Amino acid sequence: PDYPTKFPEGFLWGGATAANQVEGAWNVDGKGLTTADVVRKADNRKDMASADAVDQESLKVALADQTDTHYPKRRGVDFYHHYQEDIKLFAEMGFKVYRFSIAWSRIFPNGDEATPNEAGLKFYDRVLDELAKYNIEPLITLSHYEMPIGLTIKQNGWASRKTIADFNRFTEVVFKRYRGRVKYWLTFNEINTSTWGFHETGAIDAGMTPEQQMQIRYQSVHNQFVASAIATKQLHTIDPHAQIGCMLARQQTYPKTPNPVDVVAAQQADDLNLFFTDVQARGEYPEYMNRYFAEHHVHIEFGEHDAQVLRENPVDFISFSYYMTTVTSANEDGNAAGNMATGGRNPYLKESDWGWQIDPVGLRITLDEMWDRYRKPLFVVENGLGAVDKLEDGHVHDGYRIDYLRQHIEQMREAVSDGVQLMGYTMWGPIDLISFSTSEMSKRYGFIYVDQDDAGHGTLKRIRKDSFYWYKQVIASNGADL
């Protein structure tokens, strides 16, 4: 007989965004400039690395430019002034949770002030009030791909240990301010992408050798681990009822063949990806990583109490984004793990217009394996399809998006029935926003269409797509009606 598959009661359905991709208002109410505000739009849609291409020269140009013409993340989709309308639309779909990030530079414009900017804190007060009106739980990311550019200029971002104290001054302020109003927090979005560079580390390392870059990036990761553990400790003291999680861009690697050497290669690639969660959930560096660092001449500088801080403050739950899987073999010399844009092709999978391989079954595999590895509650905090949508007679018929999401949610349901403890699902980009990797507007993810083009022209009008009505029914039926 069939085993009944269903989602648990209280499952948190919703959507996820990031401040630098939706808010706009980059220079309003005292906000400082961020690392995301100095990233130019990619010239080419296939250029997935534009967010890491910042060097000293392009930084200088960006700092002198007081417009948003070449810097789309400065304008976002003006959530800053549309948040009431947008949250109302989320509520209409029945959202139980909304994941968003706080822009650190709204609270500490330069990153190193002694006191916070009240106008910035007030904005998030208003957002939280609005969510409370509709009983939508906030899930807040403390650092989503941005930091005050002042900290890059002063100390090369996360490459410096000093940034730990700056960050934890910020986290203490927001934990105290929003105490009792926020049950779920995340520290660093996709912390593993620090190995790609600037967008996550805030450290300019363009032009350095790959060895030097590796050293800077993994040291930045270590500093983020410590800051994350300290934030965990702060939250548990300030608001004992709240929970905090880590966040990984999970990318499962499959072996290209059943040849055991390929299987080992895939396992190693997976370890390089899971290393981050291993540290944040288990509280110590795994031995395979100590070996990897030794073999690659990476030396991680530990502060006197770092090991203890990490050990004593593991996260409460584990969250991750899921977009694709990859393939590797022992013969290829590619860095299959850690970089979504590289890695081998899987002949059994289709891909999106941006070459991201679509693998719903991989989500079940990922959930089952992560549950086995950690035995901590899991949360899928990003998953979605970036596509070119056409607005015709006021409608967007995005059946392709519905298919993508349906297939992933089905597999999630299978995993839950395999015994995985899953807290919720926040689909990425419920409202169209600026793409992280290319800063395009035309790479759309939303249930809600935003009338704005790549050049920033448009009325900013919000329009419900077909998928809007579909997701509403998914939530109303707690995932039974797909």
The catalytic residues are 382
Residue 344 DSSP code: B
Q: Interface with ligand BG6 includes 198 (CB under 6 A)?
A: no
Q: Is residue 324 close enough to count as binding ligand BG6 by CB under 6 A? A: no
Per CB under 6 A, the list member of 23, 239, 382, 414 interacting with ligand BG6 is 382
- How many residues bind ligand BG6 (CB under 6 A)? The answer is 14
Q: One symbol per residue from 439 to 458: x for binding ligand BG6 (CB under 6 A), - otherwise; what is it? A: ----x---------------
How many residues are given for the chain? 482
**Contact of 412 with 361, CB cutoff 8 Å:** no
CA dihedral sign, ordered 117, 119, 125, 130: negative
Which of 155, 194, 321, 339 binds ligand BG6 (CB under 6 A)? It is 321
Interface with ligand BG6 (CB under 6 A), residue from 11, 12, 15, 18: 18
Q: How far is the CB of 426 from ligand BG6 (least distance, A)?
A: 11
- Distance, in Å, from the CA atom of 247 to the CA atom of 18, rounded to the nearest integer, reads 13
- The verdict on 414 binding ligand BG6 (CB under 6 A) reads no
Q: Is 474 in the site for ligand BG6 (CB under 6 A)?
A: no
Residue 55 CB coordination number (10 Å): 12
Please report whether residue 283 would count as binding ligand BG6 according to CB under 6 A: no
- Helix ranges restricted to H, 75-148: 79-93, 104-107, 118-133
149 binds ligand BG6 (CB under 6 A): no
Segment near ligand BG6 (CB under 6 A); pick from 299-307, 367-375, 430-438, 467-475: 430-438
Three-state DSSP at 43 gives coil
d(Cα 425, Cα 267) in Å, to the nearest integer?
27
Least distance to ligand BG6, CB of residue 355, Å? 11
Q: Which two tokens stand for residue 111?
A: 């990153």
Residue 79 within binding range of ligand BG6, rule CB under 6 A? no
Sign of CA dihedral 254, 258, 259, 263: positive
Minimum CB distance to ligand BG6 smaller for 75 or for 443: 443
| Stretch in the footprint of ligand BG6 (CB under 6 A) among 165-173, 328-336, 400-408, 428-436 | 428-436
The reply to whether 339 sits near ligand BG6 by the rule CB under 6 A is no
Q: Give the residue at shortest CB distance from ligand BG6.
A: 437
Burial (CB count within 10 angstroms: exposed 0-12, middle 13-18, buried 19+), residue 183:
middle
Q: Which is nearer to ligand BG6, 249 or 402 (CB)?
A: 249
| Residue 41 in the binding site for ligand BG6 (CB under 6 A) | no
Show the CA angle centred on residue 90, arms to residues 315 and 125, nearest 5°.
60
- Per-residue tokens: 479: 């995932």
Q: How far is the CB of 195 from ligand BG6 (least distance, A)?
A: 13
Within 8 A by CB and 6+ apart from 387, the residues are 352, 353, 398, 400, 401, 443, 444, 445
Site for ligand BG6 in 175-194 (CB under 6 A): 189-190
- Spatial neighbors of 182 by CB under 8 A, at least 6 apart, are 128, 138, 140, 239, 242
Select from 249, 281, 309, 370 the one that contacts ligand BG6 (CB under 6 A): 249
Beta bridge partners of residue 379, listed in sequence order:
319
Angle, vertex CA 25, rays to CA 191 and CA 31, nearest 5:
70
Options 212-220, 302-310, 408-416, 432-440: segment touching ligand BG6 (CB under 6 A) = 432-440
Name the one range near ligand BG6 by CB under 6 A: 209-217, 342-350, 398-406, 434-442: 434-442
Name which position in 276, 425, 428, 447 contacts ligand BG6 (CB under 6 A).
428
Phi, psi for residue 184 in degrees, rounded to 5 = -130, 130
- Residues interacting with ligand BG6, by CB under 6 A? 18, 21, 145, 189-190, 249, 321, 382, 386, 428, 435-437, 443
